[in-house]
Chain A
């Protein structure tokens, strides 16, 4: 098998004295869609923050295309081709929809994604391009957040809880758009509490429990019972 595009080795993460991740190992290969599931507080968002550079770690705990990036700042990681769709969307309220998207393209990497292709993916955003980003509905804001990350033309995209707080019909729309995104060979990490959605789109799954990997395997191999055990730490 080829070298992984993203690899975590013995990743520990701390908030002050509190340790949130304990020696997490993970290898992600180019073109894979990997689901990361786990209960509240299991360390999923910490994992995303560590990979994207919002939290600093020991340099070689996170490797991207062979390069140790664990201690780089988030902007340096972004330029290398890794984008995060943050939990809770986190659009810039003083920027219009279009400006939010343009800022995503700031890293200036070449690739298929541009304002035009993002508008093609989410046509509703084109009509609202001049509006303040906060005037959109939650689902539309999520589309902007995804579009903003795509504008960077990343090689690896991290989705952190993209279904959180959205109506089921909106979640469906967003997830229906995913194949159009990752079909182009982009590698994706999908963090979800909504397990069924995560399993539907992914080929491999990792389950986190209290900062440790409690289950890892191909999506079609793991059983519901295994997931339940790994998710809650009890045998159902």
Chain B
């Protein structure tokens, strides 16, 4: 019995990481209806940026985040205004193709720059530290990851519904022309949304790099997990994204408990089941 409770708890905590993968995707899709195929590779890019920062300055990965996050945000803004804004229009295909191309470019650039060797961010004692809760042993790092995910999602929720910036995001998402009439330059608003999304991606990349080893080719898998979390939770619902991540995480740990080879498969099956029963996700956007 306790074994299964353990599986459940580990799965929930893993779900925090998946929610962080998904939050950026969800934000981008919500504001500008852009499906970013390069999202997973951007997570890995952030992990490598973290790696370079820790090596160059000899700092802890958490300190490296202070540099990686703003750098990712700047990359996001420039990417959006320089390239992606040109692809947005009534046709959804151009942004898909361009971000797919971007994904290939990032992967190959990382391969060129860092080789295919697996890398890892070394965070010291925190990686193996744990607390005992009853007869459960919970890792500090997964716990921290989950807490960060909740904080990030609460922050995004607050930003979206209680700030002028969020009001701008929602207005542009509703009606780009009329938002423009209100003095919102949509090109700039989209740039800010991508900057914010990639800053969140920066957090996800660093936590991923501490948790597991990574190499340039694993971005695609993270993209799938992110997508699945978004779809399970329901498009356009930020808290739903956390729930989606948790469901995906729990499904994976349960799968792994039954047979270690089933971890990823179990996650995909859970996703397909949700898609079959509730095509709009469990918590689709509340209609105001």
Q: List the interface of chain A (C-beta within 8 A of B).
A: 52-54, 73-76, 78-79, 83-84, 86, 90, 92-96, 99, 102-104, 106-107, 132, 134-135, 148, 152
Contact = CB atoms under 8 A, between A and B. Distances in A.
Contacts of A106: 164, 168, 182-184
Interface in B156-177: 164, 167-168, 170-171, 173-175, 177
Nearest to B160: A94
Nearest to B177: A54
Contacts of A93: 174, 288
B171 A78 contact: no
A95 B180 contact: no
Contact of A92 (B164, B171, B183, B185): B171
Interface of B: 164, 167-168, 170-171, 173-175, 177-185, 288
Given A92-B170, A94-B170, A94-B173, A134 B184 contact: no
A90 B175 contact: yes
B175 A103 contact: no
Given A102-B167, A132-B288, A92 B181 contact: no
A95 B177 contact: no
A148 B175 contact: no
Nearest to A54: B177
A95 B167 contact: yes
Given A52-B181, A83-B181, A92-B175, 20 more contacts: A54-B177, A73-B185, A74-B180, A75-B181, A75-B184, A78-B180, A78-B181, A78-B182, A84-B181, A86-B178, A86-B181, A90-B178, A95-B174, A99-B167, A102-B164, A103-B182, A103-B184, A107-B182, A148-B182, A152-B182
A110 to B, nearest CB: 15
The main secondary structure of chain B at its interface with chain A is: helix
Nearest to A86: B178
A152 B179 CA distance: 13
A135 B288 CA distance: 8
B182 to A, nearest CB: 5
Contacts of A83: 181
A144 B89 CA distance: 28
26 contacts: A52-B181, A54-B177, A54-B180, A73-B180, A73-B185, A74-B177, A74-B181, A75-B184, A76-B185, A78-B180, A78-B182, A78-B183, A79-B183, A83-B181, A86-B178, A86-B181, A92-B175, A94-B171, A94-B173, A95-B167, A95-B170, A103-B179, A103-B184, A104-B182, A135-B288, A152-B182
Contacts of B170: 92, 94-95
Closest 4 CB pairs of A and B: A132-B288, A74-B180, A107-B183, A78-B183
Given A99-B167, A103-B167, A103-B168, A94 B288 contact: yes
A77 to B, nearest CB: 8
B288 A54 contact: no
Give the residue among A75, A76, A79, A95 with the most B Cβ atoms within 10 A: A75
A148 B167 CA distance: 14
Contacts of A132: 288
Nearest to B30: A94
Contacts of B183: 75, 78-79, 106-107, 152
A82 to B, nearest CB: 9
Nearest to A79: B183
A153 to B, nearest CB: 12
Contacts of A96: 288
A36 B175 CA distance: 26
Nearest to A132: B288
B171 A75 contact: no
A233 B288 CA distance: 46
A75 B179 CA distance: 8
Contacts of A152: 182-183
